[in-house]
Amino acid sequence: MASEAFLDIDRMAVRYGSTPVLHDLSLAVGKGELVALLGSSGCGKTTLLRTIAGFLSPSSGRLRIGERDITRLAPDRRDMAMVFQSYALWPHMSVAQNIGYGLKLRRQGRGAIRAKVEELLAMLGLAGLGERNVTALSGGQRQRVALGRALAVDPKILLLDEPLSNLDARIRQTVRHEIRALQRRLGITAIHVTHDREEAMVMADRIVILDAGRIAQAGPPERIYNHPASPFVADFMGADNSVTLEAELDGASVMIAAGADHRAARLARDLLPTADALPGQGACRLQAFFRGEAATLVAADDAGDGPGTEALSLTGRVLAVSYPGGVWRHEVAIGERHFLVDDAQCQAPGTRVEVRLPARHLFLFPADTDGADGSGRGGLSRNQA
């Protein structure tokens, strides 16, 4: 990926009538980079994609490709192509006719169209299917046809509007890797809208998480996952269990006071992935976010003196156990809330346990950040993912 901005979005705002949807949003996309726009329904990711494509006009701000200002250009003058969620294929046309349609509109010669279509059919694993009607194809094959039609016109930027959402889970996993491999092979710049965080993680060079029309965090997948910048990002990226803690901070440590459902703990700051979000020193109330798979279970009778300075221990009782494969999944009651915790060892229902949370997997934020107050969280969150 080139370091310079290829697509530059500068302080762009978009409204639907009098309702603001995107708020002074700025984003730079490098040449050859695949950026995933990730967020829940209504966050503005599709609006952003459609504005980049030219289907919507910003109320303020600018868009550039290189030095070229495209803010007010029509969609067909932006050197972009889009793959839609519905694929938008012509049902009365063959595979080859659908892929070559954009070239026909550009008045390319028949020989040139035929050669390009054959090249794309081979590249997309559709060789021998050129004369077949698209209605006779599987969902995965239709998705490849839609992708081929977009690539046929050699766009500078490829826009992907949740193109995998209509595929079943098994096919979706295969096709996402095919798209990523093809994007890398061609070196094409791509912007991919999705609400599926796993899809964004495996496909993107960089993830941009949107919340209410603003960028909540942008960065490489591993950075977003391991170092969320806010409670919202932590929750959205799967750390959707949380507890509220009273703490005392100094330069090197976070001292957690004992509570009704947890032991006192002293956590080294340099082990905490969100240490930069915490105050420098003094007493404060914290919200700790964590993923169930990051925890381990220890029977209370075997807990000993606790985990020392590298983990927080919550005390609770196992309510139910299931085996989804590879690990045992425990529903654990801690106070009035329930958590799902995976562990290699099975703890029987009714067992008193400690849920140990390593400091390196604890995302701590001041309890009032983003309105986090500890209420309503932690209830069987894995089932909501």
CB 180 within 8 A of CB 202: yes
Q: What is the pLDDT of residue 215?
A: 97
Q: What is the pLDDT of residue 369?
A: 52
3-state secondary structure of 356: strand
Burial of 14 (0-12, 13-18, 19+ CB in 10 A): buried
Tell me the per-residue pLDDT of 2-17, one tens digit each, with 9 for 90 and over: 457 899 999 999 999 9
Tell me the per-residue pLDDT of 139-162, one tens digit each, with 9 for 90 and over: 888 888 999 999 999 999 999 998
Residue 379 has pLDDT above 90, yes or no: no
pTM, two decimals, is 0.87
Residue 1 has pLDDT above 50, yes or no: no
Residue 343 CA, chain-centre distance (Å), reads 25
Tell me the per-residue pLDDT of 64-116, one tens digit each, with 9 for 90 and over: 999 999 999 999 999 999 998 887 888 999 999 999 988 988 888 999 999 99
Q: What is the pLDDT of residue 306?
A: 58
Could you give all domains of the chain from N- to C-terminal order, each with its CATH number? 5-230 (3.40.50.300), 232-384 (2.40.50.140)
Q: What is the pLDDT of residue 140?
A: 85
Q: What is the pLDDT of residue 307?
A: 55
Q: List Cβ neighbours of 20 (8 Å cut-off, separation of 6 or more).
A: 13, 14, 213
- CA geometry: angle at 346 spanning 341 and 352, to 5°? 70
Q: What is the pLDDT of residue 374?
A: 40
Query: What is the pLDDT confidence band of residue 309, given thresholds at 50, 70 and 90?
Result: low
- CA geometry: angle at 234 spanning 233 and 236, to 5°? 60
Burial 130-164 (b: 16+ CB within 10 A, else e): beebbeebeebbbbbbbbbbbbbbebbbbbbbbbb
CB 7 within 8 A of CB 157: yes
| Rounded mean pLDDT, 245-267 | 91
Residue 334 to residue 261: CA distance in whole angstroms? 6
